[in-house]
Structure 1
């Protein structure tokens, strides 16, 4: 009887291989796991075939391409989500290639499935004025209000991902000047981020509140629920949404589109860029592995492009020779043809 390597390899992949690889975050592991749950659902519910009969040979290039189309058409998945599922499949087949070299031809055919082009969506971010207005709504008279202020101010000041804020412990904060916070990002990579004095003051007030309630150890989550459990990403998003709704009701023009914790991260990056901070420093600040990822902020802001062009142009272009009257006449003429 022919051995079904698929079941063996899949089990070994999730129970042995992935746990030993420290650069795989919990979210990555969950995404990989969910990909195979969807694959099994496709096999049983859509193809009406038993999962127990799946073999490595079943996972041909055509089979997986049809699976990705099913995700798009039947499950209404976005291009980004489909690419994430494909990335998970590619990772699994890289493992198969190492463990079972005899399947290298199958693996190569799977690697030939290319990721889809993600449509460029204008980046949404909050202006400096909007951020100031958001923070002005905080209620510092209650313990809960001070906790929420600490979360939102730290989220913005550090430019952190929401999971990085959720994972913080009391020991990650250096709460004496110069204040810093240690963030643990993707691949368990850590970076030290400086904090503004105002942020330190708000954090110290919050941390003093915590010490009155419970004996806090350095390893205890910095932000926790009423049950003293680590605050989740959803919990942080809920707090932000609560204040955004208040702010939007007062100044709708400052809060357009969907606003999430990642929007706050985008906002911080944009404000640094608008302030003249070099992209390399912003890359390190955000924890990006490549400056190419960071360049999206520069591309999303036409004002930054304009300033860069203006800065270079005076040294290259000839001096203006048009009078004010000639400029006005030219503008009037342009209006008639545009």
Structure 2
């Protein structure tokens, strides 16, 4: 097995993360072997004892306010697809949701009232609610007038009226980024993905935008009274 792992790195040119992913698959298989074949427990134990290699953590990319605004303004809202793309990108930016959560969103999961919020279903069937900014609520209200009025209607369908794929959502973002580069040159230096939007959501402040007047997990204290020590750690000052 060690020869196989060395082969991956030295001959096939795989990185440490790829090597660790292959090792994880092998270890998963040998856990099953240990349960099904007791006579193989000694071999399985040796395999499970093989450690993963440590890797450097990549810095998470970020976007500035002008870059985000340029991306959101890129879709042509005179067209059906442009209205959908703008609403989709704004919902991703507002909520910090995974792409899978947004593309699976149904009409009944958007709630308007004294507090406007999205009901999201995430990994492990975990449900959570995310407050919407007033701008997001207005945009989604306009968009909901375009799609079917049934509770189970897909909020962001593709041209055939079915669920967008993850690749489809990523393509929409990339098209918006390419167009936004003409008005925001700094985007040419960055690799923008839905994951970047998701992580950036935790470090932005939009004064006066939250419809509920409170800060959610995706609306931390802003630069005026906080210091970002590292991703996920914010030091609050001046309270």
Normalised by the length of structure 1, the TM-score is 0.57
Deviation at 1:116, TM superposition (A): 2.0
Gaps of 5+ in 2: 206-214, 220-227
Once the two structures are superposed, what CA deviation does each residue of 1:67-93 show, in whole Å capped at 9, x if it has no partner? Answer: 333333454433333323333333333
Asked whether the 8 Å contact 1:72–1:78 carries over to 2, the reply is: yes
Q: Which residue of 1 aligns with 2:27?
A: 90
Q: Does 2:151 align with 1:218?
A: yes
Shift in Å at residue 285 of structure 1? Answer: 5.2
Higher strand share: 2
Aligned residue number for residue 77 of structure 1: 14
Flag the structure with more relative contact order, 1 or 2, with Cα contacts below 8 A and sequence separation at least 6: 2
Highest Rg: 1 or 2?
A: 1
Which range moved further: 218-227 or 150-159? 218-227
Shift of the 235–161 alpha-carbon distance from structure 1 to 2, 3 Å rule, reads same
Per the alignment, residue 250 of structure 1 pairs with 183
Structure 1 unaligned regions, length at least 5: 1-61, 273-280, 287-296, 313-338
Match of 2:68 in 1: 131
Question: In 1, distance between residues paired with 2:230 and 2:35?
Answer: 40
Change (3 A) 1:104 1:122: same
Deviations 1:144-179 (A, max 9, x none): 111001110001111011222222222322244422
Number of residue equivalences: 221
Aligned to 1:145: 82
The reply to whether residue 240 of structure 1 matches residue 177 of structure 2 is: no
Residue number among 175, 197, 200 corresponding to 1:264 in the alignment = 197
Cα–Cα, structure 1 residues 113 and 167, in superposed 2: closer, same or farther, change >3 Å? farther
1:260-297: CA deviation from partner (whole Å, max 9, x where unpaired): 1111112111215xxxxxxxx98x659xxxxxxxxxx7
2:55 aligned residue = 118
Provide the rounded CA distance (Å) in 1 between the counterparts of 2:13 and 2:155.
37
Contact preservation (8 Å) 1:156, 1:264: yes
Residues 229 and 248 (structure 1), Cα distance of their counterparts in 2 relative to 1, 3 Å cut:
same
Structure 2 residue aligned with 1:170:
107
Q: Which residue of 2 aligns with 1:48?
A: none
Structure 2 SS opposite 1:209: coil
> Deviations for 1:95-147, whole angstroms, at most 9, x for unmatched residues?
33333343322222122222222223222110122212222333322221110
Between the aligned partners of 1:180 and 1:221, the Cα distance in structure 2 is 17
Hey, what's the Cα distance between the residues in 2 that align with 1:86 and 1:167?
A: 32
2:95–2:130 contact (8 Å) kept in structure 1: yes
Q: Render the CA deviation track for 1:286-337: whole Å, top value 9, x for unaligned.
A: 9xxxxxxxxxx74269xx98xx59x69xxxxxxxxxxxxxxxxxxxxxxxxx
How far did 1:242 drift? Answer: 0.7
CA contact (8 A) 1:96 1:107 kept: yes
d(CA) in 2 for partners of 1:236, 1:115: 33
Q: CA RMSD in A?
A: 2.9
Q: For the residues of structure 2 that align with 1:164 and 1:77, how far apart are their CA atoms?
A: 31
